[in-house]
Structure 1
Amino acid sequence: MTAKTLKTPKATANAEEKEFSILIVDDHPAMRSTMYDILEDEGLSPTVAASGEEAIRLCLENEFDVVLMDVQMPDITGVETFQKIKEGAKARLQNSCPIPYSKSQNSPDNLPRFIFMSAYSVSELKEECFRLGAIAFLQKPLDMNEVIHLIRDRSNPSVLLFMKDKKDREASAKALRSAEFRVITAESLDQVLINARQISHRFVVIESEMPEMDEEKIKSMLSQVSPFSQLVETDSNGQPTVLLEKLSRLRADPVRRETATSGW
């Protein structure tokens, strides 16, 4: 199936706002058609692909801002498609810039943001998607308000991260940065409070296993110095992908996003 012809965005779109180019990849015709119509009504510029192979071809021939990728497809999976698109983008960038570039080899500049969608919630699958650099993993049936908020989010939400163990802190920071979060790390609760007084972060992440006095103190003081930051507790034994999944879900929450400043 060839890509669906794009239509002129409807008058409801803001003419001064850059039109987002979206690739919808799903093997179910009804899903493709419904998402196409909804996104077009929002003033976005959607294209559809019925398979992973078609998505790879389209991504190599065009530049998209966001790819909505179904995980389970008959020819090649969404994860395999993502990997091949990344490889193609990397090769294209290296051919145009033979001098080694300074960006992370996992995040070439011309790679669209990927949002995965699946009817199944499998932890190993989510971890793999986030490890590769997806910004969100959404479970079907989709909340299209959530999808639209993620698409229109041009910002890189800032995160103030405190974990006692340096290796855990660095691993979590790396995972968050791969999904386009801006991360500032703190080595102590005092550093958390000092930084929060200066910058309003979208999320402040602290370990849940702290002495009760410290936990209550940090919650109370954060509510005073940074009322628009969202406090997120994480298990010190948790995997970085678990934290990434939690923040990605909160990032996509339309209610929260409309009532809180993003920081930075």
Structure 2
Amino acid sequence: MKKDINILIVDDHPAVRSTMVDVLKEEGFITDKAENGESALKKCTENKYDFVLIDVQMPKINGIEVLKTLKAQNKQIPNFIFFTAYSLPEIQNEAMKMGCLAFLQKPIQIERVISILKQSKGTTVLICLKNEKQQNLLYNSLISKGFHALQTLNVDEALIQLRQINFNYLILDCDWTQSEHDIIRATIKSLSSNTVCFESNEDEEIHDIENRIFSHLREIS
């Protein structure tokens, strides 16, 4: 990985900041840190970051307000990854609607953070197919072509991933129930996500699924 990805880590707990800085530096990222929302706003105004990893709950200015303020200033917004110790669906939905990259629960799984940081530099695909063999073949083929793919075993798991990460594409099995399809599409819509959903089934060849992705990428390029 090129050592040119700049990350701002924002948390009011010094131990959390220091741990994340140390681990991410070892992974080759360039890191900076801020102890609260006010400091984060100042740093984002003065510096250019690729990512901001920020706690939702902080004194004075919380993580959501930092992103709102930057958007109101028409600044070039880094990719925001929120984390919180609390289960707050309404705040999570608000964050996703504002275009955050991910919304994660504490305690922070640093491996998960690193995976998201690396995935975000390419095209991300969430695969939710019933046929395990087909799903594995598609996953391996996409990875070999430079995509960042994630497999899910069922619709419930897919919904969790969609609420945490803004995927570019979702490959969804046609054979899930209509109500499951409706829930998936309603979730994507409620999050104001740009996720493109392609329906497929076990009869579709892997290269045909990939060609639909490639065709769409050409259309939007």
TM-score bucket (shorter structure): 0.5 to 0.7
Residues in 2 aligned to 1:32 and 1:236: alpha-carbon distance in whole angstroms? 35
- Whether 1:74 aligns to 2:40 is no
Partner of 1:51: 36
Residues in 2 aligned to 1:32 and 1:18: alpha-carbon distance in whole angstroms? 20
Q: Runs of 4+ in structure 1 displaced over 4 angstroms? A: 158-161, 241-245
Partner of 2:15: 30
Superposed CA deviations along residues 162-191 of structure 1, whole A, max 9, x for unmatched, are xxxxxxxxxxxxxx8xx76435xxxxxxxx
Residues in 2 aligned to 1:115 and 1:49: alpha-carbon distance in whole angstroms? 15
User: Relative to 1, partners in 2 of residues 1:39 and 1:159: Cα closer, same or farther, differing over 3 Å?
Assistant: closer
Match of 2:65, SS state, is helix
User: Relative to 1, partners in 2 of residues 1:74 and 1:145: Cα closer, same or farther, differing over 3 Å?
Assistant: same
- Give ranges in structure 1 of 5+ residues lacking alignment: 1-13, 93-109, 162-175, 184-202, 212-231, 248-260
Q: Which has the larger radius of gyration?
A: 1
Offset at residue 149 of structure 1 (A): 1.2
TM-score normalised per structure 1: 0.53
- Give ranges in structure 2 of 5+ residues lacking alignment: 129-161, 196-209, 215-221
User: Relative to 1, partners in 2 of residues 1:83 and 1:243: Cα closer, same or farther, differing over 3 Å?
Assistant: closer
Q: What are the within-5 Å matches in structure 2 for residues 149-164 of structure 1?
A: 149-153=115-119, 154-158=121-125
Q: Which amino acid aligns with 1:139?
A: Q
Match of 1:74, SS state, is coil
Q: What are the within-5 Å matches in structure 2 for residues 133-148 of structure 1?
A: 133-148=99-114
Partner of 1:235: 183
Superposed CA deviations along residues 41-66 of structure 1, whole A, max 9, x for unmatched, are 11111100001111011111111000
Residues in 1 aligned to 2:51 and 2:37: alpha-carbon distance in whole angstroms? 15
Residue identity over aligned pairs, in percent, reads: 36
Q: Which amino acid aligns with 2:69?
A: K
TM-score normalised per structure 2: 0.62
Residues in 2 aligned to 1:137 and 1:124: alpha-carbon distance in whole angstroms? 12
- Is the 1:131–1:241 Cα contact (8 Å) retained in structure 2? no
Match of 1:235, SS state, is helix
- Is the 1:69–1:114 Cα contact (8 Å) retained in structure 2? yes
- Whether 1:204 aligns to 2:171 is yes
Partner of 1:96: none
Q: CA RMSD in A?
A: 3.2
Residues in 1 aligned to 2:86 and 2:69: alpha-carbon distance in whole angstroms? 23
Residues in 2 aligned to 1:49 and 1:23: alpha-carbon distance in whole angstroms? 7
Residues in 1 aligned to 2:25 and 2:123: alpha-carbon distance in whole angstroms? 24
- Whether 1:118 aligns to 2:84 is yes
